[in-house]
Structure 1
Amino acid sequence: MQKLTRWMGALGTVLLAACGASAQTTTAPAPQPAPAAAAGHAHAQHAASPTANPGDVAFMQGMIGHHAQALVMTALVPQRTTRPDIRLIAERIDVSQHDEIARMQRWLRARGQAAPDPSEHAGHDMPGHAMMPGMLTQEELARLASATGPEFDRLFLEFMIRHHQGALTMVSQLFATPGAGQDTELFAFASDVDADQRMEIDRMRQLLNGPAAGPRQR
């Protein structure tokens, strides 16, 4: 009887061990699928630069050089004028055109296009481009740089008005170019340039009449 009991106990132990081993057996994990070709294609599309119309690119690259010359002109103001109103509008032009240059460079780089460095084209026309509308010649820049006081004030305002009018012409030419000006970001930018420079032209025309009248002395 004892032998039978020990034999049955040993059999139970073997059966329990076999069941445990069976319970621990797991199905091999299914191999992970390789990245889908469609996903790779979508990633490539996301990484690709947006396409750009050649007319849009030429406008942005040219306007960087155009703005660069305006910055050369505004840099002359602090040492050559005594009028706070001219200092103020020169500062406004300086800030807005620095911001716009950075905006144009970002737009160009996002589309895989060359983004000119304004410091390399300051004061002169862009290589490969015809003389852009409103741009000053080297002789005119030298004349402005050599003037001081009221003569400088007059030349600065006259030249900058002409310079701004040239930018308006460039915007008009952009929108007249077939297929150009359709990019949403570029359209908004060019429209902002047009509106801002029209406003500054109006202000500079007022300044040509002389300093703003201050309060009357009693």
Structure 2
Amino acid sequence: MTVLLLSVSATAVYGQQTQPSSSPVVVQPGAPGTPSRQLSSSTTAQAPQRSQADVEFMQGMIMHHGQAVEMTALIPSHTENKEIRSLGARIGLSQADEMKFMKRWLVARGEPVAMTMPGMPDMEKSGAPMQAMPGMLTPKQMEALRQAKGAEFDRLFLTGMIQHHNGALVMVKQLFDTPGAGQDAELFDFATDADNTQRAEIGIMQDMLKEKR
């Protein structure tokens, strides 16, 4: 009788050990600056649908990056400041590479690279669309940057690029605030990286401005 009891007890213990100790944990990553959240273990993984906000974000960010590249292209002929030259080269190269990525992302999904907005004049001719996008320098600001040299150029470049970077942060926030947007894995990683990088560069440029005062 004792043997039978021991046998049953051993079986019960063994059965407990083979069962998982807890249910699987499903975690949904949060947008930049927000924590991740734990979902129910019954949550079913589904491939996110591409939203129109995703497409417009990429198209708009290509235009946005284009102006930053234009700003950095002025540096070699407008200032001898080594810090500005180094920073500008880094920003110019990284944003040019990101523009290539965004274009590939759009083409791979059968979307146009350029943003089409009815009734909006061509950006290259009038510069008007630049004003509608967060952080974009106005034609007047760009002209002032082109005309400046030396220390004045450095100041205008830094203040202008801080404004520009802050606009990009707004664009990322607007993307993640849009229901159903920003779920594409490649887009999520890109937007998150862009947010982190531009925040870091804003800090660097703010410090450079303080040193000039």
Residue equivalent to 1:151:
152
Name the CA shift for 1:53/1:130 in 2 (closer, same or farther; >3 Å).
farther
CA contact (8 A) 2:50 2:183 kept: no
Of the three residues 66, 69, 72, the one matched with 1:71 is 69
2: distance between equivalents of 1:150 and 1:180? 42
Using the TM superposition, give the Cα deviation of residue 115 of structure 1 relative to its aligned residue in structure 2, in angstroms: 1.2
- Percent identity over paired residues: 52
1: distance between equivalents of 2:103 and 2:193? 16
CA contact (8 A) 1:125 1:132 kept: no
2: distance between equivalents of 1:61 and 1:125? 16
Moved over 6 A (4+): none
Name the CA shift for 1:88/1:121 in 2 (closer, same or farther; >3 Å).
farther
2: distance between equivalents of 1:158 and 1:130? 16
CA contact (8 A) 1:125 1:135 kept: no
Secondary structure of the 1:95 match is helix
1: distance between equivalents of 2:127 and 2:197? 23
Residue equivalent to 1:87:
85
CA contact (8 A) 2:75 2:88 kept: yes
Residue equivalent to 1:185:
186
Residue equivalent to 2:118:
none
Structure having the higher Rg: 1
Consecutive unaligned residues of structure 1, counting only runs of 5 or more, are 1-49, 212-218
Q: Residue type matched to 1:182 in 2? A: Q
2:108 is the alignment partner of 1:110: yes
CA contact (8 A) 1:66 1:125 kept: no
**TM-score of the two chains, using structure 1 as the length reference:** 0.68
Using the TM superposition, give the Cα deviation of residue 130 of structure 1 relative to its aligned residue in structure 2, in angstroms: 7.1
Q: Residue type matched to 2:59 in 1? A: Q
Residue equivalent to 1:16:
none
2: distance between equivalents of 1:188 and 1:145? 34
Consecutive unaligned residues of structure 2, counting only runs of 5 or more, are 1-47, 116-121
Residue equivalent to 2:142:
141
CA contact (8 A) 1:61 1:115 kept: yes
Query: RMSD across aligned C-alpha pairs, in angstroms?
Result: 2.2
1: distance between equivalents of 2:114 and 2:96? 13
Deviations 1:26-61 (A, max 9, x none): xxxxxxxxxxxxxxxxxxxxxxxx963100000000
Residue equivalent to 2:3:
none
Aligned residue pairs total 158
Residue equivalent to 1:201:
202
**TM-score of the two chains, using structure 2 as the length reference:** 0.70
CA contact (8 A) 1:125 1:131 kept: yes
